[in-house]
Structure 1
Amino acid sequence: MQKDSGSFRDRSGYVYYEAGNILRTIMPCYKDTWLKVTESGFLDEALDENLIVSFEEYKTIPKSWKTLKVASVPFITYPYEWSFSQLKDAALLTLELQKKALRKGLTLKDASAYNVQFIGSRPTFIDIFSFEEQTEGGAWQGYGQFCSHFLAPLALAAKKDLRLAQLSRQWIDGIPIDIASSLLPWIARLSPSIFMHLTLHSALQKKYADPRTVKDIKTRHMPLERLQGIVESLEDATKNLHFPKQITEWGDYYNDTNYTEAATDAKLSIVESIGEKYAGKLAVDLGANTGRFSLPLSKYFKCVISADIDPAAVDLHYRTLRKNGPENILPIIMDLSSPSPSLGWATKERKSFEERCEADMLLALALCHHLFFTAGIPFQQISEFFFSLLRDDGVLICEYIPKEDSQVQRMLSARDDIFEDYNVQVFKESFTSAGFKELETINLPDSLRTLHVFKKNS
């Protein structure tokens, strides 16, 4: 049995792993609260509506009062990897649960974005110990956290720049309200909801930073109706923040390629054929854009991670999946030249992308030349990174694009061609030396490009 390295902040219970099971202990200090939460019927209602992760009682771990086995999430992601619409849906889920909790005499004791995970394109609340009895006249302790974890990044993305939502990677405890407020345009700061929950909130934080005012905060009475009104105001504020009309580099990628229809169809057919042959639990499509090639893999893998650097492309993909499915594809934002690192206390709280990823299949189509020329990453380092993302015997489908290709020519048009090590021989040798065995090379019709199928040596 192994304790989760990031499970230490909440004394109510801790997360353990045992034989593939996810266990959550209920500590004695949370016993009475858990009984009140379960007796209220709140968890049953939330489960019926698929709002929270399912759980069942399990053998009790020593020193705990009770232990639960919790349904696993296919792949853990973090808020700084989510698109605008994903973060917005996670925020609305959190507020919906708070509204339901208040009606049952309960409250969310925190409002961390890390309490939400995505099962495919469906947001799910995973921290079932986040609920407690609402104290009569008490304020919502999670209010400030909601504003910094959800409202601040959403407002920055909608009103300033889409990419600013990823500041959550810098501040994993939430973007500071004063910084978020200062970065917003003046006209945005003066809108009623942003003024109340960010601009005025920031000013009040500074005021109550004075230790002499702490007593005033603790003795302030807040009627239930007012508390419900704050939650509804936050909900309105969140709903009124919309995806910005912002052009990004890869948002229209599929309309700006040199593929013929025959080459695209062949590529899709090859990916599906290999996916069927090596079906498994997890496939990861790197540089997926809007997920055109993730789709055929979804038939043969329990979960498909569709990662791309472009926030607009990822958001479009997510919104499409929410509307039309399939339900087992999860789009995320990922700059592969600087993938998500280990973060938090002692760099143990939030795992790196590499630590979380143990893929059965990896897809890297029209990607390596971007990493090579734009990010300056040699084939050897690219192949070693791909190797680290796969389980033993995992399969990689990687596309090689020669210099003669028009897309590469366009990339080289404004620079001297000093890249003597960019050729198919070095490409293949790099993957072989990293620990891969090449299974086959496939020529794409109407194209100079080739697909290379590698298997990770066990």
Structure 2
Amino acid sequence: MNSGRSAESSVSASFRDPDGRVIVSGDRVFRFVYPRGQESLSRFLNSELFSALSDSGEVIGTRHADKDVGREIADRHSIKGFASVLEHDAVPFASFAYEWCPEMLASAARLTLKLAESAAESQWGLKDATPYNILFRGTRPVFIDLLSFEEREPLDPVWKPNAQFIRTFLLPLQLAKYIRLPFRPFFLLGRDGIEPETAYEVSGWFARWLTPLRTTATLPALLSKKSEDGSIYNPRTSKSPEQAAFVFARILRGLRKKLDSASPQAQRGSVWSGYMDQNLSVEPGYVDQKKDLVREFVASHSPRTVLDIGCNTGEFSKIAARSGSRTVSIDTDEVVIDELFRSADNESLDILPLVIDISRPSPAVGWMNSENPSFIARAAGRFEAVLMLAVVHHLLVTERIPLEEVVDLIASIDTRALLIEWVSPDDPMFRTIARGRDELHRDLTEDVFREAFEHRFRTRKRTPLVRETRVMYEFVKK
């Protein structure tokens, strides 16, 4: 678990939990546990359930922290009255649901249900079901909130986070699948997903009544006024533990069935989903040359971490990951990120694919803009190498971002090596996206491009590409 920042700080939503608080100090993560949560958490940490889930990597590895270190951090953050201090394993790069593709949200949902099922077998349960309880190591989700586990009453047939699971997992996935509505803006606007009433309002007649939204959005929205007295939240008990277990298991099976039907389709198309295949079919030598240059770049610098900006389906990210680099790959297109997530997961590559527009990266959000740090803040100092292949001209032309600002962005990440593709204004793709505004870019030459980067970097290598209007540059930090 890691905020992605090197400085010491309090992290995502930790202050919302009355049972504890999380502090990130450098690359170490500490959880301060208050007395009200101590007894239950101690029993969970000593249980066979925790051992099994921790060993499998599904729940974050945790141990008791050094007492002196804990007291020192507590003093710096004025944390009083804590009963114990735990240290969690670090997750290399934190990401949030507003940066995930549908495949990632579905993967996090499957883990949540699996943990609820496994916990129930040992008379444990989950207090809540939210994407904010989960981070990703590459394509593998890991549950990070140990204080979410609580002991279940044997006669309790209800899964308390049922409605929250629907709001934060099912409805976002269903809207993405059935009406092609991206869910990420909803998570930027609020923590708790999508209300059934909202899902009902944004759906058309067909989606409301002839898809699974009928039971998760339409009927709950139409019946919501009949339950305004709060009676639906009154505790309920079964006649026997066996009956409670049967009802509970049936609830989870129903949610899993809905989740399976809401999982994204593998063959969706988008504007950029066929980009790499098109290049391979039209100009295979161009793609092969770029792959060779990426291999040489990675072999030369041996970066432990790589950021691939504008990754598309991740062919170059995979080269870095296969060479042993932990890779974060970002693109604006959720369809290509979905495809990369599936292929990286199938190959067990250490790639974290995220839906991020580098021209509008994720901002700092939450209470006082301090709960979830911005993407740029998380990226600073985290990547030893950066790839920017066939992307800068989109920033210059489509987004109208000055070249000097692009250079400053890469410098702010504090990388030591950069592989970047220069695309001439005479390039067919450049002219296509310029849409007749060629005059705006008449002063953009290769010399101007190189000199702009040489203010912050040193040119190590220049390689003309098979496509004559393009050149690959390798820069290193001065």
Fold-level similarity (TM above 0.5): yes
Structure 1 position 55, deviation (Å): 1.8
Q: Does 1:367 align with 2:391?
A: yes
Q: Does 1:233 align with 2:254?
A: yes
Q: Does 1:340 align with 2:347?
A: no
What is the match of residue 87 of structure 2?
69
Q: Indicate if the aligned counterparts of 2:11 and 2:23 stay in contact, CA closer than 8 A.
A: no
Taking a change above 3 Å as real, the CA distance of residues 162 and 254 of structure 1, as seen in their structure-2 partners, is farther
What is the match of residue 311 of structure 1?
334
Q: Indicate if the aligned counterparts of 2:398 and 2:434 stay in contact, CA closer than 8 A.
A: no
Structure 1 position 420, deviation (Å): 2.5
What is the match of residue 409 of structure 1?
431
Structure 1 position 46, deviation (Å): 1.6
Letter in 2 for 1:448: T
Q: Does 1:10 align with 2:17?
A: yes
Taking a change above 3 Å as real, the CA distance of residues 177 and 349 of structure 1, as seen in their structure-2 partners, is farther
Which shifted more, 32-41 or 99-108?
32-41
Structure 1 position 205, deviation (Å): 4.5
> 1:190-224 deviations in whole A, cap 9, x for unaligned?
3575333333333455444x4xx135522444644
SS in 2 for 1:312: helix
5 Å-filtered alignment, 1:22-101, equals: 22-60=29-67, 61-62=70-71, 63-101=81-119
Q: Indicate if the aligned counterparts of 2:337 and 2:354 stay in contact, CA closer than 8 A.
A: yes
Q: Does 1:376 align with 2:382?
A: no
Letter in 1 for 2:116: Q
SS in 2 for 1:349: coil
SS in 2 for 1:430: helix
Query: Which of 208, 214, 218 is residue 230 of structure 2 equivalent to?
Result: 214
Whole-angstrom distance in 1 between the partners of 2:88 and 2:357: 31
Structure 1 position 341, deviation (Å): 0.8
Structure 1 position 406, deviation (Å): 2.0
Whole-angstrom distance in 2 between the partners of 1:307 and 1:274: 19
Provide structure 2 residue ranges, at least 5 long, that are not aligned to the other structure: 1-6, 72-80, 239-243
Q: Indicate if the aligned counterparts of 1:317 and 1:331 stay in contact, CA closer than 8 A.
A: yes
Which shifted more, 55-64 or 125-134?
55-64
What is the match of residue 77 of structure 2?
none
5 Å-filtered alignment, 1:136-151, equals: 136-137=155-156, 139-151=158-170
SS in 1 for 2:262: coil
Structure 1 position 67, deviation (Å): 2.1
Structure 1 position 155, deviation (Å): 0.6
Q: Indicate if the aligned counterparts of 1:106 and 1:131 stay in contact, CA closer than 8 A.
A: yes
Q: Indicate if the aligned counterparts of 2:23 and 2:30 stay in contact, CA closer than 8 A.
A: yes
Query: Which of 135, 140, 143 is residue 125 of structure 1 equivalent to?
Result: 143
Query: Which of 286, 291, 302 is residue 279 of structure 1 equivalent to?
Result: 302
Structure 1 position 283, deviation (Å): 0.5
What is the match of residue 440 of structure 1?
461
Taking a change above 3 Å as real, the CA distance of residues 10 and 59 of structure 1, as seen in their structure-2 partners, is same
Whole-angstrom distance in 2 between the partners of 1:206 and 1:456: 61
Whole-angstrom distance in 2 between the partners of 1:314 and 1:19: 29
Q: Does 1:269 align with 2:292?
A: yes
Structure 1 position 144, deviation (Å): 2.3
Structure 1 position 113, deviation (Å): 0.2
- TM-score for both structures, normalised by structure 1: 0.91
Q: Indicate if the aligned counterparts of 1:341 and 1:353 stay in contact, CA closer than 8 A.
A: yes
Query: Which of 128, 148, 161 is residue 110 of structure 1 equivalent to?
Result: 128
5 Å-filtered alignment, 1:146-157, equals: 146-157=165-176
Query: What is the number of residues matched between the two proteins?
Result: 450
RMSD: 2.3
Whole-angstrom distance in 1 between the partners of 2:60 and 2:119: 16
Letter in 2 for 1:287: G
> 1:399-440 deviations in whole A, cap 9, x for unaligned?
11102222223223554532224222332233234x233333
Whole-angstrom distance in 1 between the partners of 2:364 and 2:116: 30
Structure 1 position 108, deviation (Å): 0.7
Letter in 1 for 2:355: I
What is the match of residue 183 of structure 1?
202
Whole-angstrom distance in 2 between the partners of 1:137 and 1:346: 38
Structure 1 position 160, deviation (Å): 0.5
Structure 1 position 304, deviation (Å): 0.3
Structure 1 position 364, deviation (Å): 0.3
Q: Indicate if the aligned counterparts of 1:343 and 1:351 stay in contact, CA closer than 8 A.
A: yes
Whole-angstrom distance in 2 between the partners of 1:352 and 1:19: 17
Letter in 1 for 2:473: H
Larger helix fraction of residues: 2
> 1:10-45 deviations in whole A, cap 9, x for unaligned?
122222234532122222111121133235422122
Q: Indicate if the aligned counterparts of 2:11 and 2:24 stay in contact, CA closer than 8 A.
A: no
What is the match of residue 274 of structure 2?
252
Query: Which of 152, 170, 179 is residue 160 of structure 1 equivalent to?
Result: 179
Q: Percent identity?
A: 27
Whole-angstrom distance in 2 between the partners of 1:3 and 1:368: 33
Whole-angstrom distance in 1 between the partners of 2:422 and 2:50: 51
Which shifted more, 260-269 or 301-310?
260-269
Structure 1 position 268, deviation (Å): 1.4
Which shifted more, 180-189 or 254-263?
254-263
SS in 2 for 1:234: helix
Whole-angstrom distance in 2 between the partners of 1:301 and 1:138: 47
Q: Does 1:173 align with 2:192?
A: yes
What is the match of residue 75 of structure 2?
none
Provide structure 1 residue ranges, at least 5 long, that are not aligned to the other structure: none
